[in-house]
């Protein structure tokens, strides 16, 4: 019998800008990732403009089951409050969960206190823990090296496993944590810079060569990457690694059924 096709798992890139200059000038959008996984909708890292980018693409906040913040930096969390309002219909419909590291919630919370009661609950992300939203499970295998508490995320659905490698400096053990059919990697830098805790293109090439996913998608570009054209860089990296490497574009929708062929 023919295998049933994927239940419509997809990832929509509501932005591809990373770090402050790209975001401040909105040279690319910065709305995060919208995951639609077997009917469960999850928003990851709603940076500035997430509400604009999502509604523009007919992705409605009240369909969300959860919002996940990899970390508290502005380019990942600026629209979290308005997205909570959207998810809960302004608080009239208690709905959805927020997942975030403790330092996004404790001393200087990134969400307004009056919004907390709108949510079904808040769960604190910690290293090595697993979580569930509907039929989707995800884990935060390792704490990243970044100026604030940061986690990447490994997602598992009935049919697919994929990883989101959020902001981090490269470190031994990063690769070990993120095997999957698909890797989404935030890559801000063209070349490694000692003083900046972000991945560079050489780091990413090393990660892709080691993990050999079916597909890797680069996103969250800094200014120098942007100037060198992410699509060109991805094309060269595909040739170097033998892995299909794509550069995300604003509004790009990646259907996870693409992982099932070839
Ligand atoms: Zn950051």
What number is the average pLDDT over the span 34-60? 97
pLDDT tens for 152-199 read 999 999 889 999 999 999 999 999 999 889 999 999 999 988 889 999
> Measured in angstroms, how far is the CA atom of residue 71 from the centroid of ligand 1?
7
Q: Is-above-0.85 flag for pTM?
A: yes
> Measured in angstroms, how far is the CA atom of residue 48 from the centroid of ligand 1?
13
> Measured in angstroms, how far is the CA atom of residue 77 from the centroid of ligand 1?
10
> Measured in angstroms, how far is the CA atom of residue 140 from the centroid of ligand 1?
16
pLDDT tens for 59-70 read 999 999 999 999
| Residue 42: pLDDT band with limits 50, 70, 90 | very high
Tell me what pLDDT residue 262 has: 55
> Measured in angstroms, how far is the CA atom of residue 88 from the centroid of ligand 1?
27
Ligand 1 ion: residues within 5 Å (CB): 73, 167
Q: Compute the mean pLDDT over every residue in the chain, rounded to the nearest whole number.
A: 95
> Measured in angstroms, how far is the CA atom of residue 22 from the centroid of ligand 1?
13
Q: DSSP labels for 168-226?
A: ----TTTGGG---SEEEEE--BSS--TT--S-BHHHHHHHHHHH--SEEEEESB-HHHH
H-type alpha helices, the chain: 19-25, 50-56, 74-77, 80-87, 201-211, 223-227, 230-241
């Amino acid at each position: 019998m023919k295998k049933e096709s994927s239940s419509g798992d997809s990832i929509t890139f509501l932005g591809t800008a990373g770090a402050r200059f790209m975001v401040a000038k909105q040279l690319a959008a910065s709305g995060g990732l919208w995951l639609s996984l077997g009917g469960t909708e999850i928003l990851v890292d709603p940076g500035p403009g997430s509400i604009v980018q999502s509604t523009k693409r007919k992705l409605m906040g009240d369909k969300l089951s959860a919002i996940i913040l990899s970390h508290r930096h502005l380019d990942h969390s600026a629209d979290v409050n308005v997205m909570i309002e959207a998810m809960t219909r302004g608080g009239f419909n208690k709905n959805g969960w927020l997942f975030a590291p403790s330092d996004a919630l404790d001393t200087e919370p990134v969400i307004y206190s009056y919004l907390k009661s709108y949510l079904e609950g808040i769960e604190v992300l910690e290293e090595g823990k697993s979580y569930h939203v509907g039929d989707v499970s995800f884990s935060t295998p390792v704490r990243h090296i970044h100026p604030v508490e940061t986690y990447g995320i490994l997602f598992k659905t009935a049919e697919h496993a994929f990883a989101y490698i959020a902001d981090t400096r490269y470190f031994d053990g990063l690769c070990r944590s993120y095997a999957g059919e698909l890797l989404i990697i935030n890559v801000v830098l063209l070349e490694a810079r000692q003083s900046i805790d972000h991945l560079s293109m050489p780091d990413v090439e090393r990660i892709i060569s080691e993990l050999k996913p079916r597909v890797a998608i680069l996103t969250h570009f800094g200014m120098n990457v942007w100037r060198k054209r992410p699509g060109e860089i991805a094309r060269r990296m595909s040739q170097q690694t033998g892995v299909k490497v794509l550069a995300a574009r604003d509004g790009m929708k990646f259907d996870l059924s693409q992982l099932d062929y070839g």
